[in-house]
Amino acid sequence: MKGSLSGVALMLLSVGASATQLQISNIDYLYPDSTITQYRLPWFSSPDNPIAAKRINDYLFSTFIFHLPGKDPQATLNQLAKTEHGMEGIETLDYHVQYLGKNILAIDILGEWCGAYCEAYTEPVVFDLSTGYRVTLEQIITNNGMDTLATKVRKDISDKISTFVAQQKALPAEKQRDEDGVIMDYEAFYAECLARTKNPDFTDYTDRYSLNEKNITFLNGRCSNHANQALDDLGDFQTPLPVSSLNEMLTPYGKTLLTNEPRQRTAPLPGLSDRVLYGTLGKNTRIVLNVSCQRSYIQGAYFYEKYGAAIGLSGKCSPENTQHYELTTSSNEAPAEKIVLDLKEGRYQGNWQSGGKTLPVQFD
């Protein structure tokens, strides 16, 4: 696996007087009886903002290995990797720091997930360094801006497909043949994918994005399924756009993060989705919540800090309504649990219900 920090085990960020000092080290696990790394995750610490660093660490562990790091993250990773079902389905993990700036951290999680077959994936994550919360595109881009960006990304992918198909059709017949002498019909191969880019109802083209000091880059998967992957010459799509082109699309919070204009810091709107929240169940049982709202469905988990294992949650949600949530456990092996939360006085609070028992729950 490639080195995430180019051979540097510790990196210190200090950009400007108000920047968070962020130290980065590796938490890794080697294949048994090998010197090759199988799992590697970053571990962040900050002398001036330990809460933000903790939230970033908890988000990465709970999202990508479905467990809190605990007091000893290396021991946690070792234990999960050595347990039969501890890292079930996760074949490899690595990371790459895309950008460390004054206000944001952009990192790519690189992994391979195995079920019926194995698929490599890249999941970009952007964090607000002042809070440790994940930064979603909806928080930094206005609604009109989201529509504009989706149109730009769809057009970019459409143009890439159309250009490639035209280039292949323009080749002499003998150069269009594969090693078996068959002429590949790229127009038919990419037809469905191309048609999708023409349909404005498909709004998922901006779901995955990464940031650096110059560009915002949207990542989209290939047109082919796993069986036809070898025939797909285009592969995954990346659409970079200059950060400077976003100025007219930014929300006040987006301008706080992405521009150098002097301004009073603006916080994102309250919400549960894509951020780690800390709270209590009952009188003083500490729990952690990490859920994500994708269109109309919310999925994720909550964790007891003492134990760290994920308890899966799901429910319905609306990006326009962040005031009320109802989450239920997804396991059939235990009594069903339900968590009902309402936004009151700036924090989410409500109750936990299971087996006829009800307890108060609240998150900071």
Domain ranges of the chain: 11-135, 143-208+222-258, 275-363
- What residues form DSSP beta bridges with 341? 325, 350
pLDDT in tens, 124-140: 999 999 999 999 999 99
Mean pLDDT of 246-272: 86
The two three-digit tokens of residue 106, written as one number: 């952009």
pLDDT score, position 6: 34
Name the band, by pLDDT with cuts 50, 70 and 90, for residue 17: very low
Amino acid letter, residue 66:
F
Categorize the per-residue pLDDT at 7 as very low, low, confident or very high, splitting at 50, 70 and 90: very low
Residue 342's pLDDT is 95
Angle, helices 50-64/73-82, rounded to nearest 10 degrees: 0
Tens of pLDDT, residue by residue over 162-197, are 999 999 999 988 887 777 778 889 999 999 999 999
SS3 label, residue 144: helix
Give the fold, CATH level 3, of 11-135: Heat Shock Protein 90 (3.30.565)
The fold for domain 275-363 equals Lipocalin (2.40.128)
Asked which of 1-5, 112-116, 290-294, 337-341 is least confident by mean pLDDT, the reply is 1-5
Alpha carbon 327 to chain centroid, angstroms: 21
Match 């989209």 to its residue by tokens.
220
Q: Is 53 exposed, middle or buried (0-12, 13-18, 19+ CB in 10 A)?
A: buried
Sign (positive/negative) of CA torsion 168, 173, 174, 176?
positive
Residue-level pLDDT at 19: 57
Whether 65 contacts 87, CB under 8 Å: yes
Looking at residue 176, what is its pLDDT? Answer: 78
- Give the pLDDT of residue 262: 62
Query: CB of 107 within 8 A of CB of 96?
Result: yes
- Closest by CA to 3, choosing from 23, 24, 33, 32, is 24
CA dihedral of 340, 343, 346, 349, whole degrees rounded to 10: -20
CA distance 317 to 79: 35
